[in-house]
Amino acid sequence: MKKLLTLTLLFAMSISTVFAGGANETQSSDTQDAVQPLRVAMECGYAPYNWTQADDSNGAVPIADSNDYAFGYDVMMAKIIAEKLNRPLEIVKLDWDSLVPAVQSGSVDCVIAGQSPTPARKEMVDFTDPYYYASVVCMTLSDSEYATAQGLSDLSGASCTSQLGTLWYDTCLPQIEGANILPAQESAPAMLVALNSERVDFICTDMPTAQAALVAYPNMTILNFSGSDDDFVLSQSDIDISVSVSKKNPELTQAINEILATMDENDYNEMMAEAISVQPLSN
């Protein structure tokens, strides 16, 4: 009888251990899932949206596999989203043309990089609601003959460029009748250098990029034709800035939209003003 009681107790203890172990494994798995970082891709070279810096000043975030840090409007927004999702943030630095493929392949969770939801991109990835409401402008040198242009028609005959793979280059510049469109530049800084070196008469970009550029290039001026009948013809959905997410992850798109719904245009403008004020070009 005593032997039977001992065996019964041992069996009960072993069953308890198995279930306890299973519960611990489940808890460990859940904890592991909860701390998976939110991997966010961006160029880290597109001020004031994002840039690379040497330290963590102003709340900059380490760049994966690098000794550098990233900051800017996109990083500020990524920090808010990651915090609301209770996930640590990991910034992944990629070239512009690699951003959408990275989302498609699943190597990153999303792209927050001053990216507009163009029809071509929407075929490849999903986009959230806007996290910034943008406008398109042109820039020229202050002493250029085009500095007094009042509309797109005044830019006829001028040479121009913009950044490769952008709405500015693919959609906006072709709307300027008679413009001499030169090959696209690899990055936003490259197109600014092209203008500053007078290799082109003007460039096309968005307002935040132009405002940031004036800090480093006070010899430039912004040509803003919005509100006139001689401006670019674009839908607002084409130029607003959104987060791109894999079509296989609608849950993340919905979660980000719920976070963005708690913010408004005033919040976005205040954040952008802060990003412009601390960008490396301002120092």
Instruction: For 39-80, write each residue's pLDDT tens digit.
Output: 999 999 999 999 999 999 999 999 999 999 999 999 999 999
Q: Are 43 and 68 in contact (CB under 8 A)?
A: no
Please indicate, yes or no, whether residues 93 and 71 belong to a single structural domain of this protein.
yes
Task: State the Cα–Cα distance between residues 223 and 176, nearest whole angstrom.
Answer: 14
- The pLDDT of residue 119 is 87
Q: Which amino acid is at 270?
A: E
Residue type, 74: D
**Which residues, at least 6 apart from 210, have a Cβ–Cβ distance to it below 8 Å?**
137, 139, 222
Residues 162, 96 within the same domain:
no
Number of helices followed by number of strands (H, E) in the chain: 10, 13
Number of domains in the chain: 2
78 and 199 in one domain?
no
Q: Which residue has the tokens 């990275």?
A: 102
* 232 and 148 within one domain: yes
Q: How many CB atoms are located within 10 Å of the residue 97 CB? A: 10
- 218 inside domain: yes
Whether residue 269 sits in one domain with residue 201: no
Residue 154: pLDDT over 60: yes
Could you tell me if 119 and 255 lie in one domain?
yes
Q: Specify whether 141 is located in the same domain as 218.
A: yes
Say yes or no: 43 and 175 in one domain.
no
pLDDT confidence bin for 283, thresholds 50/70/90? low
Based on the fold, state whether residues 208 and 76 are members of the same structural domain. no
- Do 204 and 217 share a structural domain? yes
Q: What is the CATH number of the domain that holds 123?
A: 3.40.190.10
User: For residues 209 and 48, is the Cβ–Cβ distance under 8 A?
Assistant: yes
Q: Which of 50, 171, 188, 162 has its CA nearest to residue 120?
A: 171
Among residues of the chain, what percentage have pLDDT more than 90? 80
Query: Between β-strands 89-93 and 38-42, what pairing exists: parallel, antiparallel or unpaired?
Result: parallel
Q: Which uninterrupted H or E stretch holds 278? A: helix 265-278
In a domain? residue 20: no
* Structural domain includes residue 172: yes
Q: What is the mean pLDDT of residues 90-97?
A: 96
In a domain, 9, yes or no: no
pLDDT tens-digit series, residues 213-248: 998 899 999 999 999 999 999 988 778 999 999 999
Q: Are residue 180 and residue 217 in the same domain, yes or no?
A: yes
Taking the alpha carbons at both ends of the chain, their separation in whole angstroms is: 86
Longest dimension (CA), the chain: 107
pLDDT given at position 118: 86
Q: Quote the mean pLDDT of the chain.
A: 89
Q: In terms of residue numbers, what domain contains 230?
A: 136-236
Task: Decide: residue 103, CB within 10 A, 0-12 exposed, 13-18 middle, 19+ buried.
Answer: buried
pLDDT of residue 282: 56
